[in-house]
Amino acid sequence: MHLYLIRHGQSVENTQPYDGRNDNSALTDLGQAQAAALATWLAQPTQRIKFNRLYSSPMQRAKQTAAAIAGALGMEVAFDSRLMEVGNCKPDGSPYPLD
């Protein structure tokens, strides 16, 4: 069995100063282009990568990236909230100390 982990393309949040919050931002135009390029690359027969299943976080940026890949591979996406990233900040939005 092979497990491939793919990060979403650039999101709107990625273009902002990092505040540790876990928002549900969409892909930027660049992120959409990145997802499309990866999807095209993965679909090339020369890659010899066979996917049995495609899972994604339900976050918008991940869904958009997965949709591009699924479209290129002719697959369905299974969304699983357990794949959502965990927030890296206190409830008030302030970051945890690094030490």
CA 30 to the chain's CA centroid: 14
CA distance 95 to 12: 20
* Mean pLDDT on 43-51: 88
- Which band of pLDDT confidence, cut at 50, 70 and 90, is reported for residue 34? very high
pLDDT of residue 19: 57
* Mean pLDDT on 47-66: 93
Q: What is the mean pLDDT of the chain?
A: 87
Encoding tokens for residue 78?
């299974």
The pTM is what?
A: 0.81
CA distance 56 to 36: 16
